[in-house]
Structure 1
Amino acid sequence: MRRYALALDLKDDEQLIREYERYHQNIWPEIRKSIVDSGIENMQIFRTGNRLFMLMEVNDDFSFEAKGKADDTNEKVQQWEELMWKFQQPLPWAKAGEKWVMMDGIFDL
């Protein structure tokens, strides 16, 4: 099992943040299926202010490249991503077109 930590910012608007959280309390079934089918076995998102932190635990079959290709051809995932972009904004250091940015581990007890 591998673990990845990623970060993303939401637009700093309390109403948009509440709406974003409501969507994530009941994600679309097609989105849940795409996550599980890609090899992600556990995913959690945490928030402080407008900063999001995602923790993913994946199996040996998971790859970001394969997940990206599958998402690109999945109409429902594309609809979800377009909708979520209404709430999200890239981190200041994100590359062009990059949403979630991989975090570097700096401590492990």
Structure 2
Amino acid sequence: MKNFRISFVLLCSSILFVMCKQPENNQGPTTFEEKVFVVNTVDNDEKLQEYLTYHKQVWPEVEAGFKKAGYKRITLYHFKDLIVMTISVPVGADLDEMGKVAEAHNPKCASWNKLMNTYQKGVNGTEEGEKWVEALPFYEFNN
């Protein structure tokens, strides 16, 4: 029993060391910020349902690309044809660069983006060809 306790303590110590170890660049833990983006789906209920169905089982290669690019969390919401996306990314991240890294991870990532693009259109006020736009905060309540 004593050997088991010693092994258990060593195992726990090793796990704790790995969990608490600072990154090699000694910059400390990464801090994340949340960003919000909006897009509309094309005016077609059948297309909206297809879009929602695809997102019930996002291709594993796509999610692996998100992970490789450094996204912490991506959440999608919808109300009728309005899609709202929140992303959690490292503070100050270059979102264009992150998108390129995610898409370059696997050819299926680019295929996914091309396919999803057929379901989307810009919200009112976007430029020609512009789709996803960042929604900027203008009020916050904290308790």
The TM-score with structure 2 as length reference comes to 0.68
Tell me which protein shows more strand as a share of its residues: 1
Aligned residues: 109
Tell me which protein shows more helix as a share of its residues: 2
**77 and 98 in structure 1: CA distance in 2 versus 1, 3 angstrom threshold:** farther
Q: 1:91 aligns with which of 103, 108, 123?
A: 123
Residue range with higher mean Cα deviation, 78-87 or 62-71: 62-71
Q: Is the 8 A contact 1:3 1:56 kept in 2?
A: yes
Structure 1 runs of 4+ aligned residues shifted over 6 Å read none
Structure 2 regions of 5+ residues with no counterpart? Answer: 1-31
Q: Is the 8 A contact 1:8 1:101 kept in 2?
A: yes
Q: CA deviation at 1:9?
A: 0.4
Q: CA deviation at 1:99?
A: 2.4
Q: Secondary structure at the match of 1:92?
A: coil
The 5 A counterparts of 1:1-109 are 1-60=32-91, 62-71=93-102, 73=104, 74-109=106-141
Q: Select the structure of larger CA radius of gyration.
A: 2
Aligned-residue CA RMSD (Å)? 1.9
**Relative contact order: is structure 1 or structure 2 higher (C-alpha 8 Å, sep ≥ 6)?**
1
